[in-house]
Protein backbone atom coordinates (compact mmCIF):
# COMPACT_ATOMS: atom_id res chain seq x y z
CA UNK A 1 0.00 0.00 0.00
CA UNK A 2 1.37 3.40 -0.93
CA UNK A 3 2.34 5.60 2.00
CA UNK A 4 0.52 8.86 2.54
CA UNK A 5 3.82 10.72 2.33
CA UNK A 6 6.48 10.22 -0.33
CA UNK A 7 6.87 6.61 -1.45
CA UNK A 8 9.69 4.84 0.39
CA UNK A 9 11.81 2.97 -2.12
CA UNK A 10 14.81 0.71 -1.50
CA UNK A 11 17.09 0.25 -4.51
CA UNK A 12 19.34 -2.79 -4.22
CA UNK A 13 22.70 -2.23 -5.84
CA UNK A 14 21.71 0.08 -8.61
CA UNK A 15 24.47 -1.43 -10.73
CA UNK A 16 25.57 1.98 -11.88
CA UNK A 17 24.60 5.57 -11.40
CA UNK A 18 22.64 5.20 -14.64
CA UNK A 19 20.11 2.93 -12.97
CA UNK A 20 19.80 5.23 -9.95
CA UNK A 21 19.41 8.23 -12.20
CA UNK A 22 16.63 6.54 -14.18
CA UNK A 23 14.78 5.43 -11.05
CA UNK A 24 15.06 8.90 -9.56
CA UNK A 25 13.74 10.58 -12.68
CA UNK A 26 10.92 8.02 -13.10
CA UNK A 27 9.90 8.42 -9.44
CA UNK A 28 10.79 12.04 -8.56
CA UNK A 29 8.54 12.23 -5.50
CA UNK A 30 9.96 9.07 -3.89
CA UNK A 31 12.51 8.80 -1.11
CA UNK A 32 15.02 6.41 -2.61
CA UNK A 33 17.53 4.67 -0.38
CA UNK A 34 20.38 2.52 -1.57
CA UNK A 35 21.63 1.30 1.81
CA UNK A 36 20.13 0.08 5.08
CA UNK A 37 16.82 -1.64 5.60
CA UNK A 38 15.19 0.15 8.52
CA UNK A 39 11.53 1.06 8.35
CA UNK A 40 8.67 0.07 6.09
CA UNK A 41 9.10 0.46 2.36
CA UNK A 42 6.53 0.72 -0.41
CA UNK A 43 8.84 -0.82 -2.96
CA UNK A 44 12.12 -2.67 -3.25
CA UNK A 45 13.75 -2.55 -6.66
CA UNK A 46 16.44 -5.16 -7.09
CA UNK A 47 18.99 -4.58 -9.79
CA UNK A 48 21.38 -6.97 -8.15
CA UNK A 49 21.26 -8.69 -4.75
CA UNK A 50 21.82 -12.07 -3.17
CA UNK A 51 18.60 -13.99 -2.40
CA UNK A 52 19.49 -13.98 1.32
CA UNK A 53 19.72 -10.20 1.24
CA UNK A 54 16.20 -9.96 -0.20
CA UNK A 55 14.88 -12.49 2.33
CA UNK A 56 16.37 -10.50 5.21
CA UNK A 57 14.83 -7.33 3.83
CA UNK A 58 11.44 -9.06 3.46
CA UNK A 59 11.56 -10.14 7.12
CA UNK A 60 11.86 -6.50 8.16
CA UNK A 61 8.73 -5.41 6.24
CA UNK A 62 5.36 -5.23 7.97
CA UNK A 63 3.01 -3.61 5.44
CA UNK A 64 2.17 -4.35 1.85
CA UNK A 65 4.99 -3.72 -0.61
CA UNK A 66 6.11 -4.29 -4.16
CA UNK A 67 9.30 -6.19 -5.06
CA UNK A 68 10.72 -6.00 -8.57
CA UNK A 69 13.76 -8.04 -9.59
CA UNK A 70 15.84 -7.59 -12.71
CA UNK A 71 16.37 -11.36 -12.70
CA UNK A 72 13.70 -13.53 -14.28
CA UNK A 73 14.17 -16.32 -11.77
CA UNK A 74 14.02 -16.20 -8.00
CA UNK A 75 15.22 -19.32 -6.19
CA UNK A 76 12.55 -21.63 -4.81
CA UNK A 77 13.71 -21.00 -1.22
CA UNK A 78 13.29 -17.23 -1.54
CA UNK A 79 9.86 -17.70 -3.15
CA UNK A 80 8.86 -19.90 -0.19
CA UNK A 81 9.98 -17.12 2.18
CA UNK A 82 8.07 -14.45 0.23
CA UNK A 83 4.85 -16.49 0.36
CA UNK A 84 4.52 -15.49 3.98
CA UNK A 85 4.56 -11.76 3.17
CA UNK A 86 2.07 -9.24 1.82
CA UNK A 87 4.18 -8.58 -1.23
CA UNK A 88 3.55 -8.20 -4.94
CA UNK A 89 6.52 -9.62 -6.83
CA UNK A 90 7.37 -8.76 -10.43
CA UNK A 91 10.38 -10.11 -12.30
CA UNK A 92 12.51 -9.47 -15.38
CA UNK A 93 11.15 -12.28 -17.60
CA UNK A 94 11.01 -11.31 -21.25
CA UNK A 95 14.25 -9.34 -21.21
CA UNK A 96 16.92 -12.08 -21.20
CA UNK A 97 15.79 -14.61 -23.82
CA UNK A 98 17.32 -13.00 -26.90
CA UNK A 99 20.83 -12.89 -25.40
CA UNK A 100 20.60 -16.36 -23.85
CA UNK A 101 19.40 -17.87 -27.15
CA UNK A 102 22.44 -16.44 -28.95
CA UNK A 103 24.68 -17.84 -26.23
CA UNK A 104 23.13 -21.31 -26.58
CA UNK A 105 23.57 -21.21 -30.36
CA UNK A 106 27.17 -20.03 -29.95
CA UNK A 107 28.25 -22.80 -27.56
CA UNK A 108 26.33 -25.52 -29.40
CA UNK A 109 27.82 -24.53 -32.76
CA UNK A 110 31.27 -24.22 -31.17
CA UNK A 111 30.88 -27.80 -29.94
CA UNK A 112 29.54 -29.33 -33.16
CA UNK A 113 32.03 -27.43 -35.33
CA UNK A 114 34.84 -28.50 -32.94
CA UNK A 115 36.08 -24.94 -32.52
CA UNK A 116 38.03 -25.66 -29.31
CA UNK A 117 40.07 -28.37 -31.12
CA UNK A 118 40.68 -26.04 -34.07
CA UNK A 119 41.86 -23.26 -31.76
CA UNK A 120 44.17 -25.73 -29.96
CA UNK A 121 45.68 -26.72 -33.31
CA UNK A 122 46.05 -23.08 -34.32
CA UNK A 123 47.91 -22.27 -31.10
CA UNK A 124 50.25 -25.18 -31.89
CA UNK A 125 50.62 -23.96 -35.52
CA UNK A 126 49.54 -27.41 -36.71
CA UNK A 127 47.30 -28.22 -39.73
CA UNK A 128 44.95 -30.76 -38.03
CA UNK A 129 41.31 -30.97 -39.16
CA UNK A 130 39.28 -32.15 -36.14
CA UNK A 131 37.24 -35.34 -36.29
CA UNK A 132 33.48 -35.46 -35.82
CA UNK A 133 32.37 -32.07 -37.14
CA UNK A 134 28.57 -32.19 -37.06
CA UNK A 135 25.41 -30.24 -37.93
CA UNK A 136 22.85 -28.79 -35.48
CA UNK A 137 20.25 -29.04 -38.23
CA UNK A 138 20.17 -32.84 -37.92
CA UNK A 139 19.53 -32.85 -34.18
CA UNK A 140 16.47 -33.32 -32.00
CA UNK A 141 16.63 -30.62 -29.33
CA UNK A 142 14.50 -30.76 -26.18
CA UNK A 143 14.01 -27.57 -24.19
CA UNK A 144 12.77 -27.67 -20.59
CA UNK A 145 10.76 -24.45 -20.26
CA UNK A 146 8.80 -22.69 -22.96
CA UNK A 147 8.85 -19.16 -21.62
CA UNK A 148 11.04 -16.29 -22.79
CA UNK A 149 14.25 -18.33 -22.75
CA UNK A 150 12.73 -21.52 -24.13
CA UNK A 151 10.92 -19.81 -26.98
CA UNK A 152 13.89 -17.64 -27.91
CA UNK A 153 16.19 -20.69 -27.95
CA UNK A 154 13.65 -22.65 -30.00
CA UNK A 155 13.47 -19.85 -32.53
CA UNK A 156 17.24 -19.70 -33.07
CA UNK A 157 17.84 -23.49 -33.16
CA UNK A 158 14.77 -24.15 -35.34
CA UNK A 159 16.26 -21.56 -37.68
CA UNK A 160 19.30 -23.83 -37.99
CA UNK A 161 16.98 -26.71 -38.89
CA UNK A 162 16.86 -28.56 -35.56
CA UNK A 163 13.72 -30.47 -34.57
CA UNK A 164 12.34 -28.94 -31.38
CA UNK A 165 10.55 -30.51 -28.43
CA UNK A 166 9.56 -28.50 -25.37
CA UNK A 167 8.46 -29.35 -21.84
CA UNK A 168 6.18 -26.99 -19.94
CA UNK A 169 4.81 -26.80 -16.42
CA UNK A 170 1.20 -26.60 -17.52
CA UNK A 171 -0.44 -29.09 -19.83
CA UNK A 172 -0.44 -27.99 -23.45
CA UNK A 173 -3.61 -26.07 -24.15
CA UNK A 174 -4.21 -25.04 -20.53
CA UNK A 175 -3.34 -21.95 -18.48
CA UNK A 176 -4.00 -19.47 -21.25
CA UNK A 177 -1.74 -21.19 -23.74
CA UNK A 178 -4.37 -21.25 -26.42
CA UNK A 179 -3.21 -21.31 -29.97
CA UNK A 180 -4.12 -18.29 -32.00
CA UNK A 181 -3.31 -17.84 -35.66
CA UNK A 182 -1.02 -20.86 -35.56
CA UNK A 183 1.03 -19.49 -32.65
CA UNK A 184 0.65 -19.18 -28.91
CA UNK A 185 -1.38 -16.33 -27.58
CA UNK A 186 0.27 -14.34 -24.79
CA UNK A 187 -0.34 -15.91 -21.43
CA UNK A 188 -2.67 -13.30 -20.00
CA UNK A 189 -4.07 -15.54 -17.32
CA UNK A 190 -6.55 -14.59 -14.61
CA UNK A 191 -5.04 -11.99 -12.32
CA UNK A 192 -3.84 -13.03 -8.89
CA UNK A 193 -4.31 -9.44 -7.84
CA UNK A 194 -7.21 -7.44 -9.21
CA UNK A 195 -6.21 -5.91 -12.52
CA UNK A 196 -2.63 -7.22 -12.42
CA UNK A 197 -1.69 -9.76 -15.00
CA UNK A 198 0.73 -12.66 -14.83
CA UNK A 199 3.73 -12.36 -17.06
CA UNK A 200 3.36 -13.50 -20.64
CA UNK A 201 5.34 -15.56 -23.09
CA UNK A 202 7.76 -14.24 -25.68
CA UNK A 203 5.20 -14.94 -28.39
CA UNK A 204 7.41 -17.17 -30.56
CA UNK A 205 5.47 -19.59 -32.68
CA UNK A 206 6.08 -23.04 -31.18
CA UNK A 207 3.34 -24.58 -33.29
CA UNK A 208 5.81 -26.89 -35.04
CA UNK A 209 7.40 -28.04 -31.79
CA UNK A 210 6.21 -31.10 -29.94
CA UNK A 211 5.01 -29.75 -26.58
CA UNK A 212 5.03 -32.07 -23.57
CA UNK A 213 3.16 -31.56 -20.34
CA UNK A 214 4.73 -31.81 -16.87
CA UNK A 215 3.93 -35.50 -16.43
CA UNK A 216 5.69 -36.48 -19.64
CA UNK A 217 9.31 -35.85 -18.62
CA UNK A 218 10.56 -39.28 -19.62
CA UNK A 219 8.80 -39.31 -23.02
CA UNK A 220 10.17 -35.80 -23.60
CA UNK A 221 13.76 -36.83 -22.79
CA UNK A 222 13.68 -40.07 -24.74
CA UNK A 223 16.26 -40.06 -27.56
CA UNK A 224 17.09 -36.33 -27.43
CA UNK A 225 20.38 -35.33 -29.08
CA UNK A 226 20.49 -32.05 -27.17
CA UNK A 227 18.86 -31.23 -23.83
CA UNK A 228 18.57 -27.52 -22.95
CA UNK A 229 17.45 -26.52 -19.45
CA UNK A 230 15.61 -23.20 -19.50
CA UNK A 231 13.05 -23.43 -16.68
CA UNK A 232 12.92 -21.65 -13.31
CA UNK A 233 14.19 -23.30 -10.14
CA UNK A 234 11.02 -24.36 -8.33
CA UNK A 235 9.95 -27.16 -5.97
CA UNK A 236 9.25 -29.23 -9.09
CA UNK A 237 12.39 -28.52 -11.10
CA UNK A 238 14.94 -28.82 -8.27
CA UNK A 239 16.93 -32.03 -9.02
CA UNK A 240 14.72 -32.70 -12.05
CA UNK A 241 17.60 -34.12 -14.13
CA UNK A 242 19.65 -36.86 -12.49
CA UNK A 243 21.34 -40.07 -13.63
CA UNK A 244 18.11 -41.87 -14.61
CA UNK A 245 16.99 -38.93 -16.74
CA UNK A 246 20.37 -38.54 -18.49
CA UNK A 247 20.25 -42.23 -19.43
CA UNK A 248 17.13 -41.55 -21.50
CA UNK A 249 18.97 -39.16 -23.83
CA UNK A 250 20.49 -40.45 -27.07
CA UNK A 251 24.02 -41.87 -26.80
CA UNK A 252 26.46 -38.99 -27.29
CA UNK A 253 23.89 -36.36 -26.35
CA UNK A 254 24.82 -32.80 -25.39
CA UNK A 255 23.49 -31.15 -22.18
CA UNK A 256 23.13 -27.38 -21.93
CA UNK A 257 22.12 -25.62 -18.72
CA UNK A 258 21.27 -21.91 -18.89
CA UNK A 259 18.60 -21.93 -16.17
CA UNK A 260 19.71 -22.69 -12.61
CA UNK A 261 22.34 -25.17 -11.40
CA UNK A 262 20.29 -27.20 -8.89
CA UNK A 263 17.92 -28.38 -11.65
CA UNK A 264 20.70 -30.71 -12.87
CA UNK A 265 22.72 -33.10 -10.70
CA UNK A 266 26.38 -32.27 -11.36
CA UNK A 267 27.51 -35.61 -9.93
CA UNK A 268 25.21 -37.47 -12.34
CA UNK A 269 26.41 -35.31 -15.22
CA UNK A 270 30.10 -35.95 -14.45
CA UNK A 271 29.38 -39.68 -14.25
CA UNK A 272 27.48 -39.63 -17.58
CA UNK A 273 30.32 -37.74 -19.29
CA UNK A 274 32.96 -40.09 -17.89
CA UNK A 275 30.93 -43.09 -19.07
CA UNK A 276 30.77 -41.57 -22.57
CA UNK A 277 26.97 -41.49 -22.69
CA UNK A 278 26.98 -37.67 -22.66
CA UNK A 279 29.48 -36.27 -25.15
CA UNK A 280 29.48 -32.65 -24.00
CA UNK A 281 28.08 -30.28 -21.39
CA UNK A 282 27.78 -26.55 -22.02
CA UNK A 283 27.11 -24.97 -18.66
CA UNK A 284 26.36 -21.39 -17.69
CA UNK A 285 24.91 -22.12 -14.22
CA UNK A 286 26.04 -24.38 -11.40
CA UNK A 287 24.86 -25.95 -8.14
CA UNK A 288 27.27 -23.61 -6.34
CA UNK A 289 28.32 -20.29 -7.85
CA UNK A 290 31.05 -19.34 -8.38
CA UNK A 291 32.01 -22.88 -9.40
CA UNK A 292 34.58 -24.07 -6.85
CA UNK A 293 38.17 -24.59 -8.08
CA UNK A 294 37.97 -28.23 -6.96
CA UNK A 295 35.00 -29.06 -9.22
CA UNK A 296 35.68 -31.91 -11.64
CA UNK A 297 33.74 -30.02 -14.30
CA UNK A 298 36.70 -27.69 -14.93
CA UNK A 299 38.93 -30.45 -16.26
CA UNK A 300 36.55 -32.80 -18.08
CA UNK A 301 36.95 -32.84 -21.85
CA UNK A 302 34.06 -31.34 -23.79
CA UNK A 303 32.74 -29.34 -20.88
CA UNK A 304 32.41 -25.66 -21.74
CA UNK A 305 32.00 -23.38 -18.74
CA UNK A 306 30.66 -19.84 -18.86
CA UNK A 307 30.40 -17.94 -15.55
CA UNK A 308 26.62 -17.28 -15.51
CA UNK A 309 26.91 -14.65 -18.20
CA UNK A 310 24.69 -16.02 -20.98
CA UNK A 311 22.39 -13.02 -20.71
CA UNK A 312 24.99 -10.32 -20.14
CA UNK A 313 24.71 -7.87 -23.01
CA UNK A 314 24.18 -4.15 -23.25
CA UNK A 315 20.84 -4.85 -24.93
CA UNK A 316 19.66 -7.00 -22.00
CA UNK A 317 20.51 -4.16 -19.60
CA UNK A 318 18.47 -1.78 -21.72
CA UNK A 319 15.47 -4.11 -21.82
CA UNK A 320 15.69 -4.64 -18.04
CA UNK A 321 15.84 -0.89 -17.47
CA UNK A 322 12.89 -0.26 -19.81
CA UNK A 323 10.82 -2.88 -17.98
CA UNK A 324 11.71 -1.40 -14.60
CA UNK A 325 10.76 2.12 -15.76
CA UNK A 326 7.48 0.83 -17.18
CA UNK A 327 6.56 -0.99 -13.97
CA UNK A 328 7.43 2.06 -11.84
CA UNK A 329 5.13 4.09 -14.08
CA UNK A 330 2.35 1.52 -13.73
CA UNK A 331 2.79 1.25 -9.95
CA UNK A 332 2.58 5.01 -9.46
CA UNK A 333 -0.56 5.23 -11.58
CA UNK A 334 -2.16 2.11 -10.08
CA UNK A 335 -2.19 0.41 -13.48
CA UNK A 336 -1.80 -3.34 -14.17
CA UNK A 337 1.79 -4.38 -13.53
CA UNK A 338 3.87 -6.46 -15.94
CA UNK A 339 5.46 -9.81 -15.04
CA UNK A 340 3.67 -10.62 -11.80
CA UNK A 341 5.20 -13.70 -10.22
CA UNK A 342 2.72 -16.32 -9.11
CA UNK A 343 4.19 -17.16 -5.70
CA UNK A 344 2.13 -20.36 -5.52
CA UNK A 345 3.63 -21.87 -8.68
CA UNK A 346 7.07 -20.34 -8.03
CA UNK A 347 7.71 -18.17 -11.12
N1 LIG B 1 21.71 -18.01 -17.46
C2 LIG B 1 21.15 -16.83 -17.49
O3 LIG B 1 21.82 -15.86 -17.73
C4 LIG B 1 19.67 -16.70 -17.24
C5 LIG B 1 19.00 -15.54 -17.70
C6 LIG B 1 17.63 -15.44 -17.51
C7 LIG B 1 16.94 -16.46 -16.88
N8 LIG B 1 17.60 -17.55 -16.40
C9 LIG B 1 16.86 -18.65 -15.73
O10 LIG B 1 15.95 -19.21 -16.67
C11 LIG B 1 14.67 -19.34 -16.08
C12 LIG B 1 13.59 -19.23 -17.15
O13 LIG B 1 13.55 -17.90 -17.61
P14 LIG B 1 12.35 -17.36 -18.53
O15 LIG B 1 12.59 -15.91 -18.65
O16 LIG B 1 12.21 -18.20 -19.75
O17 LIG B 1 11.09 -17.63 -17.58
P18 LIG B 1 9.55 -17.63 -17.96
O19 LIG B 1 9.31 -16.76 -19.15
O20 LIG B 1 8.84 -17.39 -16.70
O21 LIG B 1 9.26 -19.14 -18.45
C22 LIG B 1 9.38 -20.22 -17.59
C23 LIG B 1 9.02 -21.48 -18.38
O24 LIG B 1 9.41 -22.61 -17.60
C25 LIG B 1 8.35 -23.53 -17.60
N26 LIG B 1 8.36 -24.36 -16.41
C27 LIG B 1 8.14 -23.99 -15.12
N28 LIG B 1 8.18 -25.07 -14.32
C29 LIG B 1 8.41 -26.15 -15.12
C30 LIG B 1 8.49 -27.55 -14.91
N31 LIG B 1 8.34 -28.09 -13.68
N32 LIG B 1 8.70 -28.35 -15.97
C33 LIG B 1 8.82 -27.84 -17.22
N34 LIG B 1 8.73 -26.51 -17.50
C35 LIG B 1 8.53 -25.69 -16.46
C36 LIG B 1 7.09 -22.68 -17.67
O37 LIG B 1 6.00 -23.47 -18.10
P38 LIG B 1 4.53 -22.83 -18.44
O39 LIG B 1 4.70 -22.20 -19.80
O40 LIG B 1 3.64 -24.01 -18.47
O41 LIG B 1 4.25 -21.85 -17.36
C42 LIG B 1 7.53 -21.61 -18.67
O43 LIG B 1 7.34 -22.08 -20.00
C44 LIG B 1 14.61 -18.25 -15.03
O45 LIG B 1 13.72 -18.59 -13.99
C46 LIG B 1 16.03 -18.15 -14.54
O47 LIG B 1 16.22 -19.04 -13.44
C48 LIG B 1 18.94 -17.69 -16.59
Phi, psi of 282 (to 5 degrees): -120, 105
Going from the Cα of 344 to the center of ligand 1, the distance in angstroms, rounded, reads 15
Which residue out of 167, 200, 232 has the highest number of ligand 1 atoms within 8 Å of its CB and is therefore the one to mutate? 232
pLDDT at 31 over 70: yes
> Looking at ligand 1, which residue's alpha carbon is closest to its atom 9?
259
Q: Please give the average per-residue pLDDT across 282-286, as a whole number.
A: 98
Window from 19-28, 173-182, 205-214 with minimum mean pLDDT: 173-182
**For residues 100 and 97, what is the distance between their CA atoms, to the nearest angstrom?**
5
> Looking at ligand 1, which residue's alpha carbon is closest to its atom 21?
147
Ligand 1 is surrounded, with C-beta below 6 A, by 72-73, 93, 96-97, 100, 144-150, 167-170, 175, 214, 230-234, 236-237, 258-260, 284-285, 308, 310-311, 347
Q: What pTM did the predictor assign?
A: 0.91
Q: Please give the average per-residue pLDDT across 180-207, as a whole number.
A: 37
Window from 159-168, 191-200, 309-318, 337-346 with minimum mean pLDDT: 191-200
pLDDT at 190 over 50: no
For the stretch 150-181, pLDDT in tens is 999 999 999 999 999 999 999 765 433 222 22
The distance in angstroms from the start CA to the end CA of the chain is 23
Average pLDDT value for the chain: 89
Going from the Cα of 214 to the center of ligand 1, the distance in angstroms, rounded, reads 13
Amino acid sequence: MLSLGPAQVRLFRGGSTTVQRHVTSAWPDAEIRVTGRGGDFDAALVWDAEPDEIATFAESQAGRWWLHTRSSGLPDRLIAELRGHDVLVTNGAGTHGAAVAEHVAAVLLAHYKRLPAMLDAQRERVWRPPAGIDEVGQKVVGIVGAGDLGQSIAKVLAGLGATIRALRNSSPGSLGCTRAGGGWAPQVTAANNAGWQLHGSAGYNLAKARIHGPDELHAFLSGLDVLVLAAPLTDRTRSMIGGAELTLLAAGAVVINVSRGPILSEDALVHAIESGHISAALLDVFETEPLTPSSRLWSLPNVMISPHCADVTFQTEQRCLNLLMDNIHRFRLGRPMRNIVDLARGY
